[in-house]
Structure 1
Amino acid sequence: MPTSSKARAKRRIAVLEEELEMIRQEKGGKQRKTTFYVSQGRAIRRLVVLYHSVEDMIAENDRRYEFRSSLESTAEQDRLQRGYVELTRVLPWLHERLGDLDQGDSEDMLRKASNLKKGADAARGDDTSSLKELVATWVNQEFRPSPLIKSNEKYSRGFASDICGMLLCPAEWDWKQNSVKTGIRDRTTEYIVSENSWPLFLYENYQVNSDDLEEGLLKSKLLVLAFKAVFTSPSSAREAEGDGDGADVLENNRRARLRSDQTKVKTCVASIINMKKVTPRAIAYVVCQVRFALSSVLSWRTVDADFDYEAFWCNIVDFFEDTPGPVTRRKVEKLLEWWTR
């Protein structure tokens, strides 16, 4: 039975509108998925690995699963595998989805990994930017240098600054000695600052026991303040006094949840990424961020003169995770207890 051209046109318009709405919904769904993976990725640099990719950790886990009968591994591979374990703790859905992948899903997984990386690098950049100003403020409050460290620029930081130079100086050297100060600034062979030394800013009260370089290590007020700023909020960092209590992420999470039941509040990073305790890799991340904030380098990079940030991060992680015996293991456990109590 024939119909009018007007009626047919209306039906075609209705079909096109329906198709357009379906396209919009599909596009919106893809955008929501992208946003989800970018958001999830923000935990990776902070809690898992500072430099390696998600693909590196997955590949190492696959290698161990496929060749476990004749497995040999390097220290770097062991660190990567521990990173994969931490990754699955931080992103528990990831391991299950990897196990369900078939050949046709590989391209989709690459897109997800790319979005995770976007989130990871964005979070690192955000923290670098905020700590640039915050660290300058804290150093000025703590040491009252003259002139004060400018919060909006870095040219006057690093070893050119007496106070930043002191905090960056390896613990085994005395920055107050002119020979040390001059040698570091001139980069003489006797005073090469590398990732293989612990800088002074890591120590409690910024003092070192030359007979025991592990005494007070990783207990500085500056670290606690930075940790609070990254994982809770900059305002909560003002409450920290450097005794360990200021870094009680678990308690901050609990308080945030209690407040959210009563009123709308801005959730802290630790709650968003479901961080239940202070971890070695979270500490290592903050250490590298503070070191960078004290330096005169303008943009994030792996190597600063003779100092390698990636190797430095690995040294801190290994200090916690690759302990040589039970006595050292207990010392590390006590240090983590100090951070989360």
Structure 2
Amino acid sequence: MSSRDPNQENHPPRYGTKTTGPLNDDTTTSQSRPTSLTLGPRKRPNLHTDPLIHHGRHFGRAIYAFANIQALLLAGLGADEDSPPETQQERRELRVFKKLLTTIPDLEGRLMSSSGEEVMAIASMLQKGAASARSDDTKSLKGVILDWIGPLNPPLSRNVKHDRGFQHPQTGFLLCPPELDWSNSDIRKQLRNKEITISGSHWPIFVYKNETYDPENPWKGLFRNELLIKASSPGYKHIFTSPSSVEEQPKATRSGNARIHGMTHVTPASLAYAFTQIRFSLSSAGVFSRTDGETDSETFYTSVLELLEDPEEQDEVRPLVLWWNQRVFPSFSNARRLAPTSSALSRIKARRGRVGTAAASHPNE
């Protein structure tokens, strides 16, 4: 228990900064700050074009998808080094904040030299970028997901989703968690009538290889389903390395999101994001809403990310991430590289050097 007086007027806040003006009416942001890793109310900021919007797109895809970036910045800037975070939520917030700083060049310096109003503008631009990337990916996956799970009977529209989810036999099967038996007509009826609702923490069967779940070994095949990996992982590649990279025969195309942002390996957050987008595209929900009770996307995303970041699960996570890296990023290799001295090129150069040395030592021969 801290001995600090929370009512002490000049004591620096644990989180946030004390400012005056219309933003907080002379109150410390920590007193009623929103949770930074939960999206707050939707706003429509008046923003000018800024590289931060571009960086915000990558942040939402590869670092944290559902952050309230305004609260995140205030929490990070107001963190007290002498008083480390006490809760798991606070530790995650600080971890995400530090990742954000290392991702965007000179962001830390820009934040430290900015006024409160300027910090809010920075947050708005990053938030706009993350939201626009999420919207673009949702629209892009809506139609192409049907190609990956087809042929479909009955057929489904590429433009509307009301007959997806549990309303359709194939999307319903893929979304049904293994705890429920999709082959049971009563279960299907209850899911379609919403007599049974599925929370985001109950993962769908499609995250398992061959849609097969082993209750005795729940890691077996987890996150290795063909829907995620088929033809070199179309779901992930569609978002991060460009839609054309899904095709078996590559062709000239614009750079993918990963290359644009210098991304050379998968991150736990990027995997969770791709899985969340694919899950949503199979559902009947029409809008990727922050408060959508039908898909509960934020809970699903957070539960996947928590598992992949859990220190006690790394014996399973490390080979999974390596497996993904080898499929998504062709240049990635965890194999030991041969020493340069053993290559043919190095031997040719060494021989040339020996010949040159011998010639120099016997100039008259």
TM-score per shorter chain, which class? Answer: 0.7 to 0.9
The answer to whether 1:203 aligns with 2:213 is no
- When residues 204 and 89 of structure 1 are mapped into structure 2, their CA distance, relative to the original with a 3 A threshold, is farther
8 Å contact from structure 1 (residues 232, 270) kept in 2: yes
Counterpart position of 1:111? 121
Query: Would you say the 8 A contact 1:175–1:181 is kept in 2?
Result: yes
Query: Paired residue for 2:172?
Result: 165
Tell me whether 1:177 sits opposite 2:190 in the alignment. no
Q: What is the letter of the counterpart of residue 72 of structure 2?
A: M
SS of 1:165's equivalent? helix
The aligned amino acid for 1:34 is: T
Which letter maps to 1:47? A
Per-residue deviation, 1:204: 1.3
- Secondary structure of the corresponding residue to residue 69 of structure 1: coil
Quick one: structure 1 residues 110 and 59, their matched pair in 2 at CA, closer, same or farther if it must change by over 3 Å?
closer
Query: Normalising by structure 2, what TM-score?
Result: 0.70
Deviation (angstroms), 1:162: 0.7
* Structure 1 residue 41 corresponds to structure 2 residue 46: no
**Cα distance, 1:269 vs structure 2:** 0.9
Tell me which of the two structures has the higher relative contact order, counting C-alpha pairs closer than 8 angstroms and 6 or more residues apart: 1
Asked whether 1:83 is paired with 2:117, we answer no
- SS of alignment partner, residue 340 of structure 1: helix
3-state SS of 1:42 partner: helix
2:139 aligned residue (129, 137, 141) = 129
Give the match for residue 281 of structure 2.
Answer: 293
2:165–2:175 Cα contact (<8 Å) kept: yes
Q: Report the equivalent of 1:228.
A: 237
How far residue 152 of structure 1 moved from its aligned partner, in angstroms, is 1.6
Match of 2:160 in 1: 153
Encode CA deviations 1:137-179: one digit per residue, 9 max, x unaligned. 2111xxx221122212111101101111111111222211223
* Structure 1 residue 315: Cα displacement: 0.7
- Is contact 2:61-2:269 (8 Å) kept? yes
> Residue type matched to 2:271 in 1?
I
Structure 1 residue 130 displacement after superposition: 0.4
Distance in structure 2 (CA, Å) of the matches to 1:322 and 1:92: 28
Contact 2:180 2:187 (8 Å CA) reproduced? yes
State the 1:63 CA deviation. Answer: 4.1
Distance 1:83 1:167 in 2: 32
The residue identity in structure 2 corresponding to 1:133 is: G
Q: Which has the higher helix share?
A: 1
Would the aligned equivalents of 1:90 and 1:274 in 2 still touch at CA under 8 Å?
no
1:274 paired to 2:262: yes
- 8 Å contact kept, 1:56–1:80: no
Asked if the contact 2:280/2:295 (under 8 Å) is kept, the reply is: no
Counterpart secondary structure, 1:292: helix
Query: Do the aligned partners of 1:204 and 1:218 also contact (CA within 8 Å) in 2?
Result: yes
1:39 aligned partner, one-letter code: H
The answer to whether structure 1 residue 217 and structure 2 residue 230 are counterparts is no
**Normalising by structure 1, what TM-score?**
0.74
Q: Residue 281 of structure 2: SS of its match in structure 1?
A: helix
- SS of the equivalent of 2:106 reads helix
SS of alignment partner, residue 116 of structure 1: helix
Tell me how large the CA RMSD over aligned residues is: 2.5
Sort the Cα spacing of 1:70 and 1:38 in 2 relative to 1 into closer, same or farther, 3 A. Answer: closer
Q: Which runs of 5+ in 1 are unaligned?
A: 1-31, 241-251, 260-264
Q: CA deviation at 1:295?
A: 0.7
In 2, distance between residues paired with 1:293 and 1:274?
A: 27
Give the paired residue count. 277
